[in-house]
């Protein structure tokens, strides 16, 4: 397991290329690539250029007094290790993912187990717009206008049994679609989990889109979790399995480096990562740094769930 390897994920705070320079370079390269692909191989170009359908969603009170991060930053500066560990790798490689048709296996302690077509699990007539802050454990953040549904609405549909205490999630793991799986960077498939009360919290969200359109592949198409009071790695992408369990599920980052990534992973400026501070963050597209807020600023909605817990031990 490549725990101590130095990669973007783990870079020191002052070694970061300015996102403006990075994104400008990517825009330039994308332009060259599009022109080249169009000239040389129109069929390949068409395959890569997935058209994202617009989604109809109802505005909600889950919004922020901050401008959303520009769409191209959200879609070109990603973490999706199944497509490579570089920030630009997901945008370059995720065209290989086939997001439709898509199904999700539901199992464990539920009364309605089965394999659900995405459209049977998610009510596309009840989509909501929500603007959330995403705080990555690497100490950067973005403001993302998501489209999706509360996780609780899906859980109600599959009817958890009374013994269910946790929800476990699994990402697709298909070597043909995901070139990053060739490298044992993480224990594939990528897995994540929430305690039942966290999963039922109003903020926990399943996204199917962003900026009013379907999710781009690199952002976790067609279905990803968004848990805004936790570090970004809890927000698992391209979900193919949801299991209800009575024991705390194993999660990929915790398996890979238990001292560094706990099960809870609530955003906490008071608990440093063993190798860097979590007290500040850089907002993508901005110079300088801001202070990180406990629970990523969502404490009034979530802090009660952790009453009595020592969050420096339960990190």
| Binding residues vs ligand MTE (CB under 6 A) | 78-82, 134, 136, 171, 190, 219, 232-233, 235-237
Between residues 132 and 166, which has the closer beta carbon with respect to ligand MTE? 132
| 95 vs 190, beta carbon nearer ligand MTE | 190
Whether 285 contacts 229, CB under 8 Å: no
Whole-angstrom CA distances from 72 to 27, 88, 208 are 9, 11, 17
Q: Which is nearer to ligand MTE, 232 or 249 (CB)?
A: 232
Neighbours of 13 (CB within 10 A): 14
Q: Least distance (Å) from ligand MTE to the CB of residue 239? A: 8
Question: Do 129 and 64 contact (CB within 8 A), yes or no?
Answer: no
Nearer to ligand MTE, 134 or 147 (CB): 134
By the 8 A CB rule, do 51 and 99 touch? no
Q: Which is nearer to ligand MTE, 160 or 205 (CB)?
A: 205
Distance in angstroms (rounded) separating the CA atoms of residues 122 and 40: 39
CB of 81 to ligand MTE, least distance (A): 4
Q: Judged by CB, which is closer to ligand MTE: 104, or 136?
A: 136
d(CA 74, CA 90): 11
Q: Which residues pair with 207 in a beta bridge?
A: 148, 224
Minimal distance in Å, beta carbon 201 to ligand MTE? 19
Q: Please name the residues in contact with 268: beta carbons below 8 A apart, sequence gap of 6 or more.
A: 278, 294, 295, 311, 312, 315
By C-beta, is 62 or 83 nearer to ligand MTE? 83
Residues 217, 95: contact at Cβ < 8 Å? yes
State the sign of the Cα–Cα–Cα–Cα dihedral 190, 264, 1, 7.
Answer: positive
Question: Which of helix, strand or coil describes residue 87?
Answer: coil
Tokens representing residue 106 in the block: 């539901």
Position of minimal CB gap to ligand MTE? 232
In this complex, which beta carbon is closest to ligand MTE, that of residue 12 or of residue 125?
12
**Least CB distance from residue 14 to ligand MTE, whole Å?**
20
User: Taking the CA of residue 40 as centre, how many other CA atoms within 13 Å lie in the half-sphere pointing to its CB?
Assistant: 7
Least separation in angstroms between residue 231's CB and ligand MTE is: 7
Please answer whether residues 252 and 190 qualify as being in contact, where contact means their C-beta atoms are separated by less than 8 angstroms: yes
Closest distance to ligand MTE from the beta carbon of 153 (Å): 21
Q: What is the nearest approach in angstroms of ligand MTE to the Cβ of residue 287? A: 20
Least distance (Å) between residue 40 CB and ligand MTE: 29
């Amino acid at each position: 397991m490549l725990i101590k390897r130095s990669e973007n994920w783990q870079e020191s705070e002052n070694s970061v290329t300015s996102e403006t320079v990075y994104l400008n370079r990517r825009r330039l390269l994308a332009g060259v690539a599009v022109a080249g692909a169009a000239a040389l191989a129109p069929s390949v170009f068409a395959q890569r250029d997935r058209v994202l359908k617009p989604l109809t969603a109802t505005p909600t009170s889950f919004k922020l007094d901050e401008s959303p991060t520009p769409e191209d930053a959200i879609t070109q500066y990603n973490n999706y290790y199944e497509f490579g560990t570089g920030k630009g790798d997901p945008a370059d490689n995720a065209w290989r993912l086939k997001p439709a048709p898509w199904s999700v296996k539901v199992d464990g302690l539920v009364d309605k187990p089965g394999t659900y077509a995405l459209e049977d699990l998610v009510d596309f007539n009840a989509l909501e717009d929500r603007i959330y802050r995403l705080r990555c454990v690497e100490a950067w953040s973005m403001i993302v206008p998501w489209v999706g549904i509360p996780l609780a609405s899906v859980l109600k549909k599959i009817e958890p049994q009374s013994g269910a205490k946790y929800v476990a999630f699994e990402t697709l793991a298909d070597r043909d679609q995901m070139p990053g799986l060739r490298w044992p960077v993480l224990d594939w498939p990528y897995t994540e989990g929430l305690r039942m009360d966290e999963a039922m919290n109003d903020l926990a969200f399943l996204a199917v889109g962003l900026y009013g359109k379907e999710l781009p592949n690199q952002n976790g198409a067609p279905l990803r979790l968004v848990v805004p009071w936790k570090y970004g790695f809890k927000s698992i992408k391209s979900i193919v399995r949801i299991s209800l369990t009575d024991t705390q599920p194993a999660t990929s980052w915790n398996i890979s480096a238990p001292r560094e990534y706990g099960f809870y992973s609530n955003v906490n400026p008071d608990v440093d990562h063993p190798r860097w501070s979590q007290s500040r963050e850089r907002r993508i597209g901005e110079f300088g740094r801001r202070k990180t807020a406990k629970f990523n600023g969502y404490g009034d909605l979530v802090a009660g769930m952790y009453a009595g817990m020592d969050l420096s031990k339960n990190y």
